[in-house]
């Protein structure tokens, strides 16, 4: 009766480098700090509250320590992102900390770049080399010749201190490869990055590509399933029959790139049939009349042609959505960088929500991650940076926040020396070689650099190609700055001592800053002092926070019906966009489509993996599926391909070989692969050469408004390898 | 005072096949990388594009009220606690694998890596005694992000299951699998797709072993002797099978056979 048989397990065991029991991976050092703080008994046993870092949702953990080793992670019931539960990645976290492939000392490259030959070094030597190279680049070419990139994490504020105090404008984050379109659309419409959503009492949920059952945001996924269990209707729009589609009352396998047409038609019906919330619209929004005047051409019949969804289905969904309002919710999705028209799609979804007046019912204001309740170390003002950013923000992309950036354009302009030559790259907790589309180009950009340093926990591909690797302690071994969440701030604290000679990001950035002559920007003695300075205004002691896992402070009362837009209202018509000469109302933009014989290349999520850094986790490998490329059975038989065939997938920028998964769960004009596989680094013994990399074949296209990489706008041919 | 009967309730309409339960169990119970005590079963993806359906079930030992493994065991290596958990004692096991044949759910698994040398023949779910007797839910239940798995007292869970069906009769098959099957199990299942499609056997309410136990009572002395002989044979066969299987996976011919096969 099992669909995963014992034989499959043996196969998976073969994929993992070694057959070890989870508890026997690497012998762990004694949890000294925890023991000294009195959380462990004389035998070294205890449960320590901390925060997960297997994705960016940051669930609360209770780490069970026995005899100085982490033996189990459980969800912390006190923390709203976990509510006592963990997803598969969170459960597998200790296999990341005890990964035999951990980098345990600073490494200096001795072979050619990418050859993987390094020698061990002391921290003093490694940081000296990094600082010396960075200072030389600054002196010779100016600070803008140094590129800095990092993916969202709790210590990012100190990473940004290095960036800004050193004086470079060039900052690459993961956001343009993920959700720039959603963030910028929310800011234009609501004046905030992402409103909070509530599923309590929701009766109708429209998910556009938000695959919550596989792209798990622990608490939100649980709330969605609760809502469905309580009888809410869920309509799911996606070219793939994902596990979320399996939970939906209705699956709409829309033609890729046409979600905008679908939503414009919904707006058309809701306005022409006067199904909107007139009271809410007149009180809290601007630009409705202009929208009403411009939406007439977007009829359901027009959209049916484009989307492949029947006009009556669109009419019915509009009716059902407004019938359920205000207990209705249209979810923007998270990874919204699909097509160059994705920004318009996002704007249409934000407006759909506004028209039915679900504000205060299923959508709420949400602040940023900075909290007024916490302190921070003092620091001088940053030096002025006068050089243009290489990624075109804001001079080419005026609406893209500086903290988001346009990573793929940064990489392209490094290759073009436009508007100047880049000479160095400092990377922290990120794997750009795997994540930026068109990997060949990223490798060329790496090859152009005089110097590359990478802060990493394991030997990810970008570290494999670096000159110096600075080994970071894992999230179970270090402090990070406190994480504000509502009226609380949660702590990440070391459950065990850092293994080998690894250090926290707070330590690394402070010591690097001092060597760079910008020590004034790092006015804390150590990690504990940093947290003490954060806690100073609360009057709560660090010991108390460490024992409890969080600190509580009074939350500021803000008017939920005041939006941080130029008008102070929800802007259906965006004056900001209009003033800059962009479409101030959502308009149809025709996306490119594959030629005959080509397929849309779709990527998405698997519940066992996060982006480009978890594939080496042995426990996740153990229970994950084999990374294959999906194709509809009809398309496969037309091409004479069978399940598990090795196929060659070709786009205009590259070629990969990967095994085929023939399935019914995808449109016949699409293929799908889970991103993050196909690692280059031979320092990853579980993940090396497993599956193929989507970045090898992804073509770079950037949405001119939000700077989003259009990740589904790559067309491929498939043939037997 | 009545004794609490521990049980699980699995709801297939809530399961998202994320496999957090499998990893949680694997860590909690220090399961080797090539083994598991929880499996995924079900229809996977059924139908033809675009009329599709998904349905998965995770399952482990059902902790039957009348355990067939226990009645088939010639050496009393299985015991059933008064409060439900059916547990296996490797120190008493002789490796005869009767339990594997007896279990209608295919749960007990033979450990080919340990076998005779280490004495631990069979592997299966223990009900996490280290957790449930310390105010924690079993590892699989505790982590479930969607509450597809719940833990509690059997009577209470049966009540909850029927209430759920009554509240949303359109979402469920009107049956709680395990309430009566095989005389009742401690792993109860709610589903939107037929139980047979989840891979569950259609079992009578009378436990299979109500008859077999009477017979078994007479045959234990015989089974003891015969079991020992069989297990010797079985171990030999198993060792050979294992080598063959390992070899097949590595695409090589087992040592010792390479010459003969040329």
**For A638-678, what is each residue's pLDDT tens digit?**
999 999 999 999 999 999 999 999 999 999 999 999 999 99
Q: Rounded to whole angstroms, how far apart are CA atoms A584 and A575?
A: 7
Residues forming beta bridges with residue A655, ordered by sequence position: A650
User: Does the residue B247 lie in any domain?
Assistant: yes
Task: State how far residue A340 is from chain B, nearest Cα, in angstroms.
Answer: 27
- Is the same domain home to B144 and B61? yes
Residue appearing with tokens 């095994």: A659
pLDDT of residue B209: 75
d(CA A99, CA A17): 11
Best of A11, A55, A65, A72 to disrupt the B interface by mutation (most B CBs within 10 Å)? A72
Residue B170's domain spans which residues? Answer: 6-206
Q: Is the backbone peptide bond immediately before A510 cis, with ω within 30 degrees of 0?
A: no
Residues with Cβ within 8 Å of residue A197, at least 6 apart in sequence = A220, A329, A331, A362, A363, A364
Kindly report the three-state secondary structure assignment for every residue of A205-271: EEEECCCCCCCCCHHHHHHHHHHHHCCCEEEEECCECCCCHHHCCEEECCCCCCHHHHHHHHHHHHH
**Residue A631, beta-bridge partner list:** A662, A671
Put simply, the chain B residues between 128 and 147 with a CB less than 8 A from any chain A CB are 136, 139, 142-147
Does residue B50 sit in the same domain as residue B91? Answer: yes
Specify whether the CB–CB gap between A435 and A709 falls below 8 A. Answer: no
Same domain, B32 and B139: yes
In angstroms, rounded to a whole number, what is the distance separating the alpha carbons of residues A71 and A48? 12
Chain A 649-678, CB below 8 Å of chain B: which residues?
Answer: 663-668
Q: What are phi and psi of A39, to 5 degrees?
A: -85, -20
CA quadruple A73, A77, A79, A83: dihedral sign: positive
Q: Where are the alpha helices (DSSP H) in chain B?
A: 20-28, 68-72, 98-102, 115-118, 129-132, 139-143, 154-167, 209-250, 258-261
Of B161, B189, B206, at which residue does a domain stop?
A: B206
Chain B residue nearest residue A212, CA to CA: B16
Q: Which residues of A touch B16 (CB under 8 A)?
A: 213-214, 216, 221, 225, 243-244, 247, 607
pLDDT per residue as tens digits for the range A87-126: 999 999 999 999 999 999 999 999 999 999 999 999 999 9
Cα distance between residue A157 and residue A681, in whole Å: 29
Q: In what order do the strands lie in the sheet with B6-11?
A: B149-153, B6-11, B187-190
B9 touches chain A (CB under 8 A): no
Q: Is residue B11 part of a domain?
A: yes
Largest Cα separation within chain B, whole Å, is 71
Residues of chain B with pLDDT under 70: 1, 115-120, 211-262
Nearest to A243 among B17, B31, B164 (CB): B17
Characterize the bridge pairing of strands B109-110 and A670-673: unpaired
Residue A166 near residue A146 (C-beta atoms within 8 A): yes
Best of B33, B49, B242 to disrupt the A interface by mutation (most A CBs within 10 Å)? B33
Q: Give the pLDDT score at A486.
A: 81
> CA-based Rg of chain B, rounded to a whole angstrom?
20
| Count of beta carbons in the 10 Å neighbourhood of residue A41 | 10
Q: Does A231 sit within 8 Å of B168, measured CB to CB?
A: yes
Sign of the CA dihedral with A197 first, then A202, A204, and A210 last: positive
Supply the pLDDT for residue A12. 37
In angstroms, the CA A259 to CA A3 distance is 34
The answer to whether residues B187 and B225 belong to one domain is no
Secondary element (H or E) of residue A333: none
**Under 8 Å between Cβ of A331 and A197:** yes
Cβ pair A59, A579 in contact under 8 A: no
Q: Is A312 helix (H, G, I), strand (E, B) or coil?
A: helix
Q: Spell out a b/e string for A193-227, using b for 16 or more CB atoms within 10 Å of the CB, else e.
A: bbbebbbeebbbbbbbbbbbbbbbbbbbbbbbbbb
pLDDT in the model for residue A4: 42
The CA-based angle A260-A436-A411, given to 5 degrees, is 110
Residue B57's CATH number: 3.30.70.20
Distance in Å, alpha carbon of A489 to nearest chain B alpha carbon: 23
Partner A contacted by B250 (CB < 8 A): yes
Instruction: Using an 8 Å CB-CB cutoff, list chain A residues near B105.
Output: 1
- Flag whether B200 is in a domain: yes
- B251: contact with A, CB 8 A cutoff: no
Q: Which of B166, B191, B206 is the last residue of a domain?
A: B206
The alpha-carbon gap from B134 to the nearest alpha carbon of chain A, in Å, equals 13
**Helix, strand, coil proportions of chain A in percent (round to 5)?**
35, 15, 50
Q: Which residue in B35, B52, B167 is closest to A664 by CB distance?
A: B52
* Domain contains B35: yes
Cβ-contact A235, A210 below 8 angstroms: no
Residues B15 and B141 in one domain: yes
Nearest CA in chain A to B16: A213
The phi, psi pair for A649, rounded to 5°, reads -110, 125
Helix axes A505-515, A527-535, angle to 10 degrees: 100
Q: Which of residues 163-202 of B touch A (CB under 8 A)?
A: 164, 167-168, 198-200
Task: Please check whether residues B196 and B216 belong to one and the same domain.
Answer: no
Pairing status of strand B78-80 against strand B86-88: antiparallel
- Contacting residues of A for B142, CB less than 8 Å apart: 74-75, 84-85
Q: Provide the shortest C-alpha distance from residue A690 to chain B (in Å).
A: 16
Which strands, in side-by-side order, build the sheet including A60-66?
Answer: A46-51, A60-66, A69-75
Q: B206, B226, B253: which is the final residue of a domain?
A: B206
Q: Are residues A598 and A716 in contact, defined by beta-carbon separation less than 8 angstroms?
A: yes
Neighbours of A422 (CB within 10 A): 25
Q: Could you tell me the two tokens for B130?
A: 């280290």
Question: B105 CB near a chain A CB, below 8 Å?
Answer: yes
In this complex, is the C-beta atom of A685 within 8 Å of any C-beta atom belonging to chain B?
Answer: no
Coil/strand/helix, residue A19? coil
Instruction: Render A74-118 in DSSP notation, one character per residue.
Output: EE-TTSTTTTT---HHHHTHHHHHT-TTB--S-EEE-SSTTS--E
Q: Which residues on B lie below 8 Å from A620 (Cβ)? A: 23
Tell me the whole-structure pTM to 2 decimals: 0.91
Q: Which residues of chain A have pLDDT under 50?
A: 1-30
Q: Which residue has the tokens 């002691």?
A: A541
Contacts of A98 in chain B (CB under 8 A): none
Q: CA-CA distance, A451 to A513, in Å (whole number)?
A: 17
* Distance, CA of A29 to CA of A20 (rounded, Å): 19
Return the residue in A87, A216, A662, A672 with the most chain B beta carbons within 10 A, the one to mutate for interface testing.
A87
Q: Tell me: do B202 and B88 sit in the same domain.
A: yes
Residues of A in contact with B49 (CB under 8 A): 241, 253, 632-634, 664-668
Write out chain B residues lying below 8 Å of A73, CB-based: 27
DSSP code, position A626: P
For chain B positions 72-101, those within 8 Å of chain A (CB to CB) are none
Count of domains for chain B: 2
Q: What is the pLDDT of residue B242?
A: 61
Structure tokens at A182: 């959603």
Calculate the alpha carbon distances from A516 to A337, A379, A460, B86 in Å: 36, 15, 26, 64
CA–CA dist B103, B110 (Å, integer): 13
B213 and B180 assigned to the same domain: no
CB contact under 8 A, B14 and A634: no
Do B67 and B37 fall within a single domain? yes
Looking at the structure, tell me whether residues B261 and B242 fall in a common domain.
yes
Say how many CB pairs under 8 Å bridge A and B: 184
Q: Is A539 on the interface with B (CB under 8 A)?
A: no
**Contact (CB<8Å) A221/B16:** yes
Flag if B142 and A2 touch (Cβ within 8 Å). no
Per the listing, tokens 């070219």 go with: A239
CB of A215 within 8 Å of a chain B CB? The answer is: no
Is the previous residue joined to A326 through a cis bond, with omega within 30 degrees of 0? yes
Q: Do both B254 and B194 map to the same domain?
A: no
Task: Assess if residue B112 is contained within a domain.
Answer: yes
Q: What is the DSSP string of A473-519?
A: PPTTS-----EEETTEEE----SSPPSTT-B-HHHHHHHHHHHTT-G
Chain A residues inside the 8 Å CB shell of B27:
22-23, 71-73, 91-92, 94, 619
Residues B129 and B214 in one domain: no
Instruction: Name A411's Cβ contacts closer than 8 Å, sequence gap at least 6.
Output: A172, A432, A436, A441, A442, A445
What would the DSSP string read from start to end of A384-405? P--SPPTT-TTTT-TTS-TTT-
The gap from C-alpha A262 to its chain's centroid, in whole angstroms, comes to 26
Please indicate, yes or no, if residue B225 is contained in any of the structural domains: yes
CA–CA dist B200, B57 (Å, integer): 10
Does residue B1 lie in a domain region? no
């Amino acid at each position: 009766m099992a669909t995963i048989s014992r034989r499959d397990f043996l196969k998976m065991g073969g994929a993992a480098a070694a057959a070890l029991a989870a508890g026997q991976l690497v012998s762990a050092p004694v949890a000294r700090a925890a023991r000294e703080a009195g959380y462990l008994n004389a035998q070294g046993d205890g449960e320590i509250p901390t925060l997960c870092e297997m994705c960016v949702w940051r669930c609360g953990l209770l780490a069970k320590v026995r005899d100085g080793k982490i033996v189990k992670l459980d969800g912390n019931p006190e923390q709203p992102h976990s509510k006592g539960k963990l997803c598969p990645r969170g459960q597998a976290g200790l296999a990341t900390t005890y990964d035999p492939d951990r980098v345990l000392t600073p490494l200096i490259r001795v072979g050619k770049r990418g050859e993987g030959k390094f020698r061990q070094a002391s921290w003093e030597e490694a940081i000296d080399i990094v600082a010396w190279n960075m200072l030389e680049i600054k002196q010779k070419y100016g600070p803008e010749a140094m590129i800095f990139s990092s993916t969202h994490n709790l210590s990012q504020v100190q990473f940004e201190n290095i960036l800004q105090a050193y004086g470079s404008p060039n900052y690459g984050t993961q956001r343009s490869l993920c959700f720039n379109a959603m963030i910028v659309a929310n800011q234009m419409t609501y004046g905030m990055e992402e409103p909070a959503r509530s599923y309590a009492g929701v009766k109708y949920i429209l998910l556009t590509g938000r695959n919550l059952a596989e792209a798990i945001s622990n608490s939100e996924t649980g709330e969605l399933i609760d809502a469905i269990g309580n009888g809410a209707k869920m309509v799911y729009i996606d070219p793939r029959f994902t596990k979320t589609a399996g939970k939906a009352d209705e699956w709409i396998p829309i033609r890729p790139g046409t979600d905008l047409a679908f939503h414009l038609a919904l707006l058309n019906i809701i306005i022409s049939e006067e199904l909107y919330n007139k009271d809410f619209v007149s009180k809290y929004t601007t630009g409705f009349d202009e929208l009403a005047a411009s939406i007439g051409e977007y009829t359901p019949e027009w959209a049916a042609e484009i989307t492949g969804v029947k006009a009556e289905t669109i009419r019915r969904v509009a009716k059902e959505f407004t019938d359920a309002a205000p207990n209705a919710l249209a979810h923007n999705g998270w990874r919204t960088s699909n097509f160059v028209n994705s920004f318009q799609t996002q704007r249409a979804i934000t407006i759909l929500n506004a028209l039915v007046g679900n504000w205060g019912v299923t959508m709420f204001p949400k602040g940023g991650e900075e909290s007024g309740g916490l302190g921070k170390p003092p620091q001088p003002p940053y030096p002025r940076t006068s050089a243009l950013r290489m990624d075109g923000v804001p001079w080419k992309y005026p609406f893209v926040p500086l903290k988001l950036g346009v990573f793929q354009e940064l990489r392209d302009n490094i290759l073009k020396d436009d508007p100047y030559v880049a000479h160095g790259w400092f990377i922290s907790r990120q794997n750009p070689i795997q994540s930026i589309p068109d990997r060949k180009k990223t490798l060329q950009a790496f090859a152009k650099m005089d110097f590359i340093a990478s802060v990493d926990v394991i030997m990810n591909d970008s570290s494999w190609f670096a000159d110096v690797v600075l080994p970071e302690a894992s999230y179970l071994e270090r402090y990070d700055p406190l994480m504000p969440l509502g009226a609380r701030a949660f702590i990440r604290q070391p459950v065990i001592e850092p293994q080998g000679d690894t250090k926290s990001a707070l330590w690394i950035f402070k010591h690097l800053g001092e060597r760079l002559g910008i020590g004034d920007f790092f006015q804390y003695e150590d990690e504990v002092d940093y947290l003490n300075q954060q806690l100073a205004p609360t009057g709560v002691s660090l010991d108390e926070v460490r024992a409890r896992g969080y600190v509580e402070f009074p939350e500021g009362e803000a008017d939920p019906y005041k939006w941080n837009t130029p008008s102070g209202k929800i802007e259906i018509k965006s004056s900001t966009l209009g003033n800059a000469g962009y479409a101030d109302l959502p308009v149809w933009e025709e996306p490119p489509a594959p030629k005959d014989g080509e397929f849309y290349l779709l990527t998405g999520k698997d519940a066992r993996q996060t982006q480009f850094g978890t594939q080496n986790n042995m426990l996740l490998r153990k229970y994950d599926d084999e990374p294959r490329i999906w194709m509809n059975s009809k398309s496969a038989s037309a091409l004479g391909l069978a399940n598990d065939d090795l196929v060659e997938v070709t786009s205009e920028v590259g070629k990969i070989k990967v095994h085929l998964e023939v399935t019914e769960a995808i449109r016949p004009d699409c293929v799908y692969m889970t991103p993050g596989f196909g690692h280059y680094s031979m320092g990853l013994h579980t993940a090396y050469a497993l599956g193929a990399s989507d970045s090898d074949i992804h073509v770079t296209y950037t949405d001119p408004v939000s700077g989003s990489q259009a990740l589904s706008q790559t067309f491929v041919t498939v043939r037997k390898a | 005072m009545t004794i609490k009967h521990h049980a699980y309730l699995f709801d297939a309409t809530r399961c998202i096949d994320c496999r957090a339960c499998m990893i949680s169990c694997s860590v909690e119970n220090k399961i080797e990388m090539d083994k598991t005590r929880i499996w995924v079963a079900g229809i996977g993806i059924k139908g033809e594009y675009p009329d599709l359906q998904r349905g998965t079930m995770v399952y482990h030992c059902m902790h039957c009220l009348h355990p067939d493994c226990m009645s088939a065991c010639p050496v009393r290596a299985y015991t059933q606690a008064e409060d439900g958990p059916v547990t296996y004692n490797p120190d008493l096991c002789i490796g005869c694998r009767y339990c594997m044949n007896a279990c209608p759910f295919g749960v007990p698994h033979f450990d080919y890596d340990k076998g005779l040398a280490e004495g631990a023949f069979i592997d299966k779910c223990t009900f996490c005694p280290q957790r449930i007797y310390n105010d924690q839910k079993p590892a699989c239940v505790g982590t479930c992000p969607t509450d597809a798995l719940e833990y509690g007292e059997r009577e209470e869970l049966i009540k909850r299951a029927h209430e759920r069906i009554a509240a949303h009769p359109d979402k469920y098959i009107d049956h709680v699998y395990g309430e009566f099957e095989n005389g009742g199990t401690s792993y109860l299942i709610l589903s939107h797709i037929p139980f047979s499609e989840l891979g569950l056997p259609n079992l009578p309410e009378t436990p299979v072993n109500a008859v077999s136990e009477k017979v078994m009572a007479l045959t234990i002395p015989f089974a003891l002797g015969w079991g020992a002989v069989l297990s010797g044979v079985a171990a030999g066969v198993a060792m050979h099978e294992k080598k063959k299987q390992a070899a097949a996976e590595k695409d090589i011919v087992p040592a010792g056979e390479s010459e003969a096969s040329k």
